[in-house]
Amino acid sequence: MSATIPSVSDLLGDVVLDDVVQSNAATCQACDAPISKRNNVNEFRLDVDLSSERTIIRMAGDYDAHSVTVAAPRLRQFGRGDHVIVDLRDVTMLTSAALTQLDELRRRTMDSVQPLRFYDLTPWQRQLFKISGFDRGGVPETRLPPQAAVV
């Protein structure tokens, strides 16, 4: 005697599936990939301010695996000798993929006179850095001068 395994539509019903399909109809502004429109998803943004003295990378929203793909081309341009400050104040979520990308950026800029620095980390970000081991050797934080601060 064989048991029949119910399908997802049998378990969830057509209405739920229709809602899921509709909620995934939006696309990412950066790469046109489908994104969820669930209430708890914050679209990722990345801005880069270049100056002769330093580069400020500002990120906001959910920094997840999809965001890592979007950010990769922009972050790859920084390396040895670059003074980079990362502002994560408006990041609402950090995944292991995001931490890996930040660690790669840190390693590429390690030989700089000024190591990669983070601007004004939130308490939950500091705690995540500690739990994940990202803070090994310390996580240098900085305060931006008022004219460079994010408004």
Question: Residue 125's domain is classified under what CATH number?
Answer: 3.30.750.24
Residue numbers of the domain that contains 95: 45-136
12 falls within a domain:
no
Tokens of 77: 């341009």
Q: For the residues 123-151, what does the mean pLDDT come to?
A: 73
125 falls within a domain:
yes
SS3 68: helix
pLDDT band with cut points at 50, 70 and 90 for residue 137: low
26 falls within a domain:
no
How many independent structural domains does the chain possess? 1
Return the exposure string of 6-28: e unless at least 16 CB atoms fall within 10 Å of the residue's CB, then b: eeeeeeeeeeeeeeeeeeeeeee
40 falls within a domain:
no
87 falls within a domain:
yes
- Tell me which of 49 and 110 has the higher pLDDT: 49
- Contact predicate 90/113, CB 8 Å: no
> In this model, does residue 17 exceed pLDDT 50?
no
User: CA separation (Å) from 139 to 12, 17, 78, 105, 133?
Assistant: 45, 44, 18, 13, 10
- Cα Rg, the chain, nearest whole Å: 20
- Tell me which of 149 and 137 has the higher pLDDT: 137
Tokens of 89: 């104040």
pLDDT band with cut points at 50, 70 and 90 for residue 120: confident
- Tell me which of 86 and 23 has the higher pLDDT: 86
